[in-house]
């Protein structure tokens, strides 16, 4: 049997380390198109992954009431407090709705059309998760065959989750907003204070951001949503403001935001291609 | 050990990691079976097979759920190589302290390596308190699954030998 000398082994390791560092450096930002062998590998493994993930999730769902037994009291108290706030909001929303219906009629009368990109969303299921605890990343079962490309927005009923990092033929990797490199343009969800800003993950549990306007007023408990500027369409809820400060250098108000989505409990998501893709699509149609 | 056996084994481990282990999370921290198996393989396989297994596992993780191709391959390959080089035959493989120390050390190494790569990619480090919490929980979780696997693997190896 052939036996390599320790010196050759060491050289192989050194060369491999250098090559891998270079490859990692080029691929750490995510690639627009996943190479065919990688896409194929994901395609082959996907059926096994789907079956295993679904079975595990089903068992986990059955056991959840037992696991959540101790947190029920706390959750109940929190829900009661939320109910009080929601009642007040409901009255306010009812008034706004009437106003909105009037505006809709006006829009129809003026023959004004708007693009509703959220209606183009594709439903997907989570079929795998990253084990490193370092990146909040997971795999979904849709890819380029459903029009999903890099930077497509991912959300669910609770709010914004993140963006597609890389996509294969029929699977994609999703990176959460708490880890995302890309910033999200936001707007306060209040008709009287329509202040815009930018929010992005800082690696921790909360997001950090700032307003464009130094006169912007934000309060703890304010809800923020995507403003429609950039790759994310308007109107997807992001989270609640948990801290407000002022940056001494820029004099701009800064905020910390707790995302609504619990990334560990996400099982089904909606994906929509980035706004740019829609623009291109619309141009092609013309 | 043959390459195809190593690849099949790596696929099974990575699949379990991605689909099953997330339900055993504590404060969102998941045990890292892939890392544990790389450490155990360095103790029960020969050096070349252990490094190959580490490379296969890393490659699968990078392709299927990694942030950049090469990150996990590099981390696992270096880990397997250094464990093989530093421990060699002088290690007390019967002692439970061996897997505990190696798994704990490897968990810290992997976390720091990913922090380093993340810093170059994103430009910020994770908060210190969060990092310490995650490392401590993951050391416990990895040892809970790692020590029984190690004991089982070592006992099988001795049974085959004698």
Three-state secondary structure call for residue A179: coil
Strands (E), B18-146: none
- How deeply is A171 buried, as exposed, middle or buried, from its count of CB atoms within 10 A (0-12, 13-18, 19+)? buried
Give per-residue pLDDT as tens, B101-150.
999 999 999 999 988 888 877 777 777 788 888 899 999 999 999 999 98
Residue A117's pLDDT is: 57
Give per-residue pLDDT as tens, A201-245.
876 778 888 988 888 888 888 889 988 887 788 888 899 999 988
Q: Locate the domains of chain B by residue range.
A: 3-161
What tokens appear for A215 in the block?
Answer: 């006169």
Q: Rounded to 5 degrees, what are φ and ψ at A160?
A: -70, 135
Residues of A in contact with B127 (CB under 8 A): 202-204
Residues B42, B17: Cα–Cα separation, whole Å: 19
Distance (Å) of CA B103 to CA A127, A129, B83, B93, B143 = 27, 21, 11, 14, 7
Residues A57, A127: Cα–Cα separation, whole Å: 10
Q: Say which CATH class B3-161 falls into.
A: mainly alpha
Q: Report the C-alpha dihedral over residues A141, A145, A150, A154, rounded to 10 degrees.
A: -50
Q: Yes or no: say if A231 and A151 are a contact pair by the CB < 8 Å rule.
A: yes
Cα angle: B66, vertex A160, A171; to 5 degrees: 40
Residue A250's pLDDT is: 76
Q: Which residue has the tokens 């992001």?
A: A238
| DSSP code at position B125 | P
For A48-52, the CB contacts below 8 A with 24+ separation are A48/B15, A49/A127, A49/A128, A49/A139, A49/B15, A49/B18, A49/B19, A50/A125, A50/A127, A50/A141, A52/B15, A52/B16, A52/B19, A52/B20
Residues of B in contact with A38 (CB under 8 A): 63, 69
ipTM at complex level: 0.81
Asked if A205's CB is within 8 angstroms of B117's CB, the reply is no
| DSSP code at position A30 | -
Q: Yes or no: say if A86 and A223 are a contact pair by the CB < 8 Å rule.
A: no
Residues of A in contact with B70 (CB under 8 A): 20-21, 23-24, 27
What tokens appear for A81 in the block?
Answer: 């407090």
Residues B20, A79: Cα–Cα separation, whole Å: 31
Residue A118's pLDDT is: 60
Give per-residue pLDDT as tens, A24-73.
888 887 777 788 888 888 888 888 988 998 888 888 888 777 777 777 78
Residue A1's pLDDT is: 43
Give per-residue pLDDT as tens, A85-115.
888 778 778 778 878 888 887 777 776 655 5
Report the residue from A29, A42, A56 with minimal CB separation from B63. A42
Q: Which residue has the tokens 């544990």?
A: B36
Asked if A173's CB is within 8 angstroms of B65's CB, the reply is yes
Residues B70, A108: Cα–Cα separation, whole Å: 54
Three-state secondary structure call for residue A164: strand
Asked if A139's CB is within 8 angstroms of B30's CB, the reply is no
Mean pLDDT of chain A: 81
Cα angle: B30, vertex B85, A16; to 5 degrees: 75
Nearest to B26 by CA among B126, B148, B110, B145: B145
Residues A56, B19: Cα–Cα separation, whole Å: 7
Residue A281 pLDDT greater than 60, yes or no: no
pTM of the model: 0.79
Residue A99's pLDDT is: 81
Report the residue from A41, A129, A175 with minimal CB separation from B63. A41
What tokens appear for A35 in the block?
Answer: 């190479």
| Contacts of A174 by beta carbon, 8 Å cutoff, 6+ apart | A137, A138, A139, A140, A154, A161, A162, A163, A164, A165, A269
Asked if A60's CB is within 8 angstroms of B68's CB, the reply is no
Which of A50-64, A124-138, B27-41, B135-149 is the least confident region?
Answer: A124-138
């Amino acid at each position: 049997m052939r036996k390599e000398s320790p010196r050759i082994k060491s050289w192989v390791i050194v060369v491999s380390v250098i090559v891998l560092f270079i490859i990692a450096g080029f691929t750490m930002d995510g690639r627009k198109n996943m190479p065919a062998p990688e896409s194929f590998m994901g395609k082959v493994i996907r059926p096994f992954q789907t079956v295993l993930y679904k079975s595990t999730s089903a068992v986990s769902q059955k056991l959840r009431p037992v696991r959540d037994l101790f947190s029920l009291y706390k959750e109940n108290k929190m829900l009661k407090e939320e109910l009080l706030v929601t009642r007040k909001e409901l009255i306010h929303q009812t008034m706004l709705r009437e106003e909105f219906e009037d505006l809709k009629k006006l829009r129809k009368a003026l023959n004004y059309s708007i693009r509703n990109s959220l209606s183009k969303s594709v439903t997907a299921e989570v079929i795998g998760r990253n084990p490193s605890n370092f990146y909040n990343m997971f795999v979904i079962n849709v890819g380029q065959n459903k029009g999903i490309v890099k930077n497509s927005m991912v959300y669910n009923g609770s709010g914004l989750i993140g963006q597609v990092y890389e996509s294969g033929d029929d699977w994609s990797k999703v990176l959460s907003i708490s880890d995302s490199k890309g910033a999200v343009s936001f707007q306060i969800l209040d008709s009287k204070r329509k202040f815009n800003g930018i929010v992005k993950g800082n690696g921790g549990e909360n997001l950090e951001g700032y307003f464009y306007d130094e006169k912007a007023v934000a309060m703890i408990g304010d809800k923020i949503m995507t403003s429609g500027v950039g790759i994310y369409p308007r109107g997807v809820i992001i989270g609640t403001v948990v801290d407000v400060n002022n940056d001494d250098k820029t004099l701009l108000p800064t905020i910390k935001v707790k995302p609504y989505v619990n990334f560990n409990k996400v099982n089904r998501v909606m994906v929509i291609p980035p706004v740019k893709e829609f623009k291109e699509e619309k141009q092609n149609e013309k | 050990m043959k390459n195809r056996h190593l690849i099949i084994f790596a696929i099974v481990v990575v699949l379990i990691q991605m689909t099953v282990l997330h339900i055993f999370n504590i404060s969102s921290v998941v045990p890292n079976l892939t890392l544990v198996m790389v450490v155990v393989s360095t103790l029960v396989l020969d050096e070349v097979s252990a490094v190959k297994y580490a490379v296969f596992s890393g490659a699968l993780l990078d392709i299927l759920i990694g942030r950049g191709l090469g990150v996990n391959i590099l981390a696992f390959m270096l880990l397997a190589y250094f464990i093989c080089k530093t421990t060699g035959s002088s290690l007390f493989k019967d002692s439970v302290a061996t897997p505990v120390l190696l798994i704990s050390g490897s968990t810290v190494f992997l976390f720091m390596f990913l922090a380093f790569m993340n810093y170059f990619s994103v430009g910020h480090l994770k908060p210190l308190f969060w990092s310490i919490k995650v490392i401590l929980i993951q050391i416990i979780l990895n040892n809970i699954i790692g020590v029984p696997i190690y004991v089982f693997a070592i006992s099988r190896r001795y049974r085959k030998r004698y």
